[in-house]
Chains A and B, each alone.
Chain A
């Protein structure tokens, strides 16, 4: 697989480490009344779909940026690559 890095251009997927579903960006509120249940679901349950999947890839052997890659788990086709930083900020994180 080739991942088209937003800053570096096309890179071999072997340079990256796969870090799971991009929903992990949405960390639950630790002060919520339901925090224990929320963190259990956050830590352990996954949608694991067959088809399009937004996922985190860490450019470990490259510039060490985190990416959100939209990839099809049935065909391995990649349709979109974004910096995880941009995705998280668009959701209102770390402003």
Chain B
């Protein structure tokens, strides 16, 4: 088991001795016959859950089962943005908790995740939007997050390439959260995996769950491509494929799976110091440390598990970009890809027990799952360890649709492709 600590001193020492002292960051163990807790899904949320179960909640005998390789799903497919600029009481404390965990994460799991609090800016184009963003900013401040309204001149000074005088969408100001930013997304999966592994968690890759063994309303374990594995508690964290997995326990979920595309341009010199979002046209962009413009926009809008989208959405997203940053039209599109989102019926996630004893669920992250990774893992670990929801995640229940307690930030109703 690797207990090696990474540090600047270690890098220099290895550089001088031929890099012969590095060891694998996590083991490749065979599955045991049974565990106390099994987490299905070796993505950001599943690995974070295992990490916090071992580190914060003192749990032992934990396994993470992943059908492919860890970090191969949405944690490696997103646009890497972190923020806590939500409005509603059910959401904002949770996302602010997540942002605070991000702020201490690299020290906590001793891994360089390149967390960069370069700030996020939501643009305003009308009086109504200004009112809505002032309200949202105040909700953020009430929940201990940071928020600042910026004038057009302040925005121009920071983003000189922005088209502030567009006839259709003139920029009248913006809501900034300076603590928001970007993260090296793959390193989040790797850092959590290494941290969990070093605390005894078995990370079992190429192990697909094919069914649940349920007797008398209790889940006793999972059938996998590598045989049956028993467990006292089983947590599912497979957002994107949640309906597919839970259908094996005869559950129907309040969600549809949708494809969301993301894009990267060729590398440019620094032009964009922070994250900018253009809600009116739905386009958001940041610049990676390698120089590529990383951007995205709307869902394609139809149910899909294909991890690739279609061209009309590419055109729509690029038009949104051209509307606010005409200069970016000179950059060429380098890569684009799709990820599959659990689009829930109110745009908010679920972290809850199921009606089956021993079976727990984490999913429905829509396209906001990446920023939630630390808090999602922490709160799911809390639920698994204590059988009670974490104080910041009490609203994320299955029964909220039945009870009329939706957490609908955009007020769109039960039309998942509009959230």
- Residue numbers of A with Cβ under 8 A of B are 1, 12-14, 17-18, 20-21, 40-41, 43-50, 53, 55, 71, 73-76
Contacts and interface: CB of A to CB of B under 8 A. Distances in A.
Interface string B233-254: 0000000010110010000111
A1 B309 CA distance: 10
B305 A50 contact: yes
B312 interface: yes
Nearest to B305: A50
Given A46-B255, A48-B303, A49-B247, 7 more contacts: A14-B312, A18-B417, A45-B252, A46-B256, A50-B241, A50-B244, A74-B305
A12 B315 CA distance: 14
Contacts of A12: 312
A70 to B, nearest CB: 12
Nearest to B406: A44
B388 interface: no
Which of B305, B401, B415 is most buried by chain A, counting CB atoms within 10 A of its CB? B305
B304 A73 contact: yes
A13 B310 contact: yes
30 contacts: A1-B310, A13-B310, A13-B312, A17-B301, A18-B302, A18-B303, A41-B252, A44-B254, A44-B345, A45-B252, A45-B254, A46-B253, A46-B255, A47-B243, A47-B247, A47-B252, A48-B243, A48-B253, A48-B255, A48-B256, A48-B257, A48-B303, A49-B243, A49-B247, A50-B305, A71-B302, A73-B303, A74-B305, A76-B306, A76-B310
A75 B256 CA distance: 16
A73 B301 contact: no
The 8 A-B residue pairs whose C-beta atoms are closest, nearest first, are A48-B243, A14-B312, A44-B401, A45-B252, A18-B302, A50-B305, A44-B254, A18-B301
The A contact surface, by secondary structure, is mixed
A10 B305 CA distance: 24
B402 interface: yes
A43 B310 contact: no
Interface in B293-345: 301-306, 310, 312, 345
B129 interface: no
A57 to B, nearest CB: 8
Given A12-B312, A73-B305, A73-B306, A45 B244 contact: no
A71 B417 CA distance: 17
B253 A45 contact: yes
A50 B258 CA distance: 11
B414 interface: yes
Contacts of B303: 18, 21, 48, 53, 55, 73
Interface string B101-128: 0000000000000000000000000000
B414 A43 contact: yes
Interface string B387-419: 000000000000001100000000000111100
A40 B402 contact: yes
A44 to B, nearest CB: 4
A63 to B, nearest CB: 19
A95 to B, nearest CB: 28
A7 B415 CA distance: 27
Interface string B279-304: 00000000000000000000001111
Nearest to A36: B402
Contacts of B312: 12-14
Contacts of A1: 310
Contact of B252 (A17, A43, A46): A46
B395 to A, nearest CB: 16
Contacts of B306: 73-76
A71 B244 CA distance: 17
Contacts of A13: 302, 310, 312
B51 to A, nearest CB: 29
Given A55-B303, A73-B303, A74-B305, A44 B310 contact: no
B243 A40 contact: no
Contacts of A49: 243-244, 247
B310 A20 contact: no
A13 B300 CA distance: 10
Contacts of B414: 43-44
Nearest to A40: B402
A75 B244 CA distance: 16
